[in-house]
Structure 1
Amino acid sequence: MTTEVSLSPITGPSAWRGDELAGSTEWIYLLSDAEREELEEVGRKFVADDPDLRTVVAADYPLSAATGLMEECARQMDAGRGFVLVRGLRTEEYGDALAGAIFFLMGLHLGTPMEQNQLGNVLDHVIATSNKTLDDPGALPSRVRDRLPFHSDSSDVVALMCLRASKEGGASSLVSGTTIYNEILRRRPDLAPLLFEPWHWDWRGQDPDALSETYVSPICSYVDGIFSTYAGSTMIFSAQKYDGVPRLTEDQIELLHLYDEITQEPGLALDMDFQPGDVQWLLNYAALHSRTEYIDWPEPERRRHLLRLWLKRDVGRPLVDGFGKNVVKARGAEEKKIVEGGAFHIAEAVVPNQDWGN
């Protein structure tokens, strides 16, 4: 394994711009009738069997007609743009349990579902449960309607399924980590090497039950010619409140501000309007994600509602040691206390806890 600091532009399909993709549909995979029918059939079996979501595996629910679909999703994440949007599921006709079952079994064929909260749930929700904003104490990013800053999640893969769309806004925004790096390298080559150095991240701020206040990870990894990104300046700045964390230098602060400014520049991000049944698969190491601000429907049953999966995808991607939060999380998983009350069967897992984020 060869670890390097690349001071040359990174090329390849992961170096895309949103304004170049927005006018095409090359990033959308339209299901064939055979693929959709098989997913529906296997999904109905999943609902009837009612397996424990913590222990069920892909081999329990094999796919044949949809094999090409899963291979294309894997290829785009591992060696392509880093994401793909799958369209064509008729979730408005299914009910949430069947929709969630199809989403979950697709996930099983792309990786291993990870716990997403202190209850141990492996299927979570993005839905506004109050009128709080991100500035309010205790507000959860997944439970508000604000625009979110671009960031990486605590997994190899993050996936979203749209059950219901918002009244207005709420587009899923993606930006290429490779393109951001290339822009920093072009504008400030003196700052670019700092991206490969260790940074302290606020672990306690992301997880009240964390084993430590912070964890350490670089923002960029370049190993054996493979470039990866893990970003989110909010948690780096937040870590500064803890004793013992080295103070950020002026260059580091300037770099973080430049990174965030670049993500917001017109043309860099791709905004996709989620339609019911859309499923987005995203490799966290290839792209950052966000969401535009949105207006919800007044009726609770019509609120914007996405299901979310975090997957560990063990395909041998070379990364520098300790890269990202998921490495820390996996190491401490056995020591973490799981609280009673988790939703481990599909019918209950697709129902959001309306108290969270209030």
Structure 2
Amino acid sequence: MSSADYLQGACVWNGVEMYANPRWVKEFPAAVLQEIDAAVDRSSDLDWTEITRDNFPLPGAAAFFDDVREELENGSGMVKIRGLDVSRYDQQQLRRIWYALGRHLGTPMFQNRRGELMREIKDEGAGVGAKLYGATVDSSGKEFLSSGARTLSPGELRFHTDRCDVVGLLCVRQASEGGVSKLASSATVYNEMLRRRPDLHALLCRPIPRSRFGEEAGGQYVSYDLPVFGVRDGKLTSHFSLTYIENAQLLPSVRRLSDAEHEALRLLLQLAQEQCFEMRFAPGDIQLLNNHVIYHGRTAFTDDATTGQDRMLMRLWLSVPNSRALPEDHAILWGDVSGGMPHGGIAQPATPCMS
């Protein structure tokens, strides 16, 4: 399959279709919820970081998790799981449950240079995100936040992907206003751009400079080149975060993007907005997204802690055992590009591998 061929399959969808056919919504079976409760009790003396599939057994959930992974890899690329009553558990119990679910679904990966395997996504307050993830200034002298820093603010997040096969979010509390998840099929964006502007599509199949700003603790290179669209064995991977592309343009050693490349990136975001749909979380909802075929964003939000409506999500980055093989040139970002192998995540200090 060449990069000029249209993509096929259930991963190609538009927002209207997802509203009409919510095949991506699943409910925890009652028996699995009972197993979760039993495992929570048995693991009460363990920290969440000590949780494994063996000490948090969910034997009746195997078929359910297989179905979830199948939808993520070969279906729509997204799943929302309902049915977990988060009000029944304290914070430590929720961490054990969420990490255990991640371990049963795949392999948790490092989310930042500090080695975090689970991250709370909430408004951390002014300056905290910049301190943790880094900030610089743009050509006009205005503060330029890293992608990680932006997730810890209440502001809007543009369509992007994370560096893992699957990103998982457990909603513990929702904001009083906003905080709506926006999802778009990158396969649909790929096809639409190929149909409307094959010249711009071709540019995104070629290397685009990115920075590692706010990500790696070290790394051999400050920047790297990677196409926005990559196809192997008929399956797409689209790694995209405009923040890292914009930051690369602030580095003197990086080539300048052409006007046509800028136009292609603008068109990608326009098409994602045209084709997306919105999903609002309720407490207890779990959202799982295949980053290879889904762009995700978020509307701005307003918290009201006095009513218990201060948005807080727990995030996991997962490498899953049924993941697709990636193009060879993606090794610079993902490490091992073989199908089904742990890859992705953020490299740690003095740790050459990403797993």
Per the normalisation by structure 1, the TM-score is 0.84
Q: Unaligned regions of 5+ residues in structure 2, if any?
A: 131-141, 337-343
Q: 2:166 aligned with 1:151, yes or no? A: no
Match of 1:90 in 2: 85
Match of 1:68 in 2: 63
Match of 1:15 in 2: 12
- Cα distance between partner residues in 2 of 1:203 and 1:172: 25
Aligned residue runs from structure 1 range 64-213, under 5 A: 64-130=59-125, 140-207=149-216, 209-213=218-222
Q: CA deviation at 1:174?
A: 1.1
Match of 1:276 in 2: 283
Q: Could you tell me whether the CA contact under 8 Å between 1:233 and 1:260 is conserved in 2? A: no
Q: Could you tell me whether the CA contact under 8 Å between 1:211 and 1:332 is conserved in 2? A: no
Q: Could you tell me whether the CA contact under 8 Å between 1:70 and 1:106 is conserved in 2? A: no
Q: 2:325 aligned with 1:318, yes or no? A: yes
- Cα distance between partner residues in 2 of 1:157 and 1:137: 27
SS at match of 1:308: strand
Please say which of residues 5-14 and 304-313 is displaced more in the overlay: 5-14
Q: Summarize deviations over 1:252-280 as a string: whole Å, max 9, x none.
A: 11111111111222xx1121110111111
Q: Summarize deviations over 1:181-236 as a string: whole Å, max 9, x none.
A: 01101110122122221121110244465543112221111111112211122211
Aligned residue runs from structure 1 range 282-293, under 5 A: 282-293=289-300
- Cα distance between partner residues in 2 of 1:141 and 1:318: 30
Q: 2:257 aligned with 1:257, yes or no? A: no
Q: Could you tell me whether the CA contact under 8 Å between 1:17 and 1:175 is conserved in 2? A: yes
Match of 1:40 in 2: 37
The residue type paired with residue 35 of structure 2 is: E
> How many residues in Structure 1 have an aligned counterpart in Structure 2?
330
Using the aligned pairs only, state the percent identity: 29
SS at match of 1:182: helix
* Residues 211, 204 of structure 1: alpha-carbon distance in 2 compared, 3 angstrom cutoff: farther
The residue type paired with residue 101 of structure 2 is: M
Match of 2:22 in 1: 25
* Residues 112, 8 of structure 1: alpha-carbon distance in 2 compared, 3 angstrom cutoff: same
* Residues 34, 286 of structure 1: alpha-carbon distance in 2 compared, 3 angstrom cutoff: same
Match of 1:356 in 2: none
